[in-house]
A and B are shown apart, each in its own frame.
Chain A
Amino acid sequence: MTTRSITIQVKLFASLKESLGTSQISLTVPVKSTVEMLLKKIHDTHGRDNPLIDIRQVCVAVNQQIVEFDHVIIQDDEVAIFPQITGG
């Protein structure tokens, strides 16, 4: 039996965008993955040696709403990861 997976486009902002050199990455994760699982995948694939990608320091928005790390991602969600906002 194969595990079904979904592909998510993840938007990056500010220092995270700069650090990874791109404003968007594509990740394939199992269905019912949480935000935490997504962050761990980014950490493992893109940021193992990158001190900026600290999953304890980032905020995650799904469909432009800040969510907790146990939030479950579904296909076609707009996911964004960014450092703490600093205001205008």
Chain B
Amino acid sequence: MHSIRVQEKDFSVHDEWNACRERLGGKAGAVVSFIGLVRERSETGNVSSLYLEHYPGMTEASIEQIVLKAQKRWSLLDVVVIHRVGELPPEDQIVLVIVASAHRADAFAACEFVMDLLKTEAVFWKKETSDEESVWIESTLDDISRSREWQE
């Protein structure tokens, strides 16, 4: 079971969590969630906004591939990924990942895996606007290295 959404509007962690619990019934023993936020500072200075662009259809498919890899690797009951696009100011929520499983080890590992792969394999482009300039940014070396570690 999984659910993937790419949207401009914000999401409610509370609502998504309740919907997930309802779907799970009594089967899950562990639910791990991750919420990503827009930071107010980056290497280029104070961030006034982060713009995320996507390719409708291809982006959702790329996220589904990541979720399917996680479901193959761990025993998971539900995976929810909600990713926002458009212009986002600092402090805004960008991404929500919820992973449910019977036992906590699977949920912890799979949530980290999904998030690490989202940072390198999901079809998005990001532009950061700071005090000085607007620049299209690349995956960081840390993101690439974390994603590669799962492949070893």
Interface residues of A (CB under 8 A from B): 11, 13-15, 61, 64, 80, 82-88
Interface size on B, as a range, is 20 to 34
Other-chain contact of A88, B58, B61, B122 (Cβ < 8 Å) = B122
A13 x B53 contact (CB < 8 A): yes
Other-chain contact of B125, A61, A64, A86 (Cβ < 8 Å) = A86
> Closest B-chain residue to A59, C-beta based?
B123
Give Cα A11 to B143, complex, Å.
Answer: 27
Give Cα A15 to B125, complex, Å.
Answer: 9
| Given the contacts A14-B136, A15-B136, A86 and B126 also touching, CB distance less than 8 Å | yes
Q: List 23 A-B contacts (CB under 8 A).
A: A11-B55, A13-B55, A14-B125, A14-B127, A14-B136, A15-B125, A64-B55, A64-B57, A64-B61, A83-B125, A84-B138, A85-B122, A85-B124, A85-B125, A86-B126, A86-B137, A87-B118, A87-B119, A87-B122, A88-B94, A88-B118, A88-B119, A88-B124
CB proximity to A under 8 Å, residues B77-93: 83
| Given the contacts A14-B53, A64-B58, A83 and B136 also touching, CB distance less than 8 Å | yes
Other-chain contact of A86, B36, B55, B139 (Cβ < 8 Å) = B139
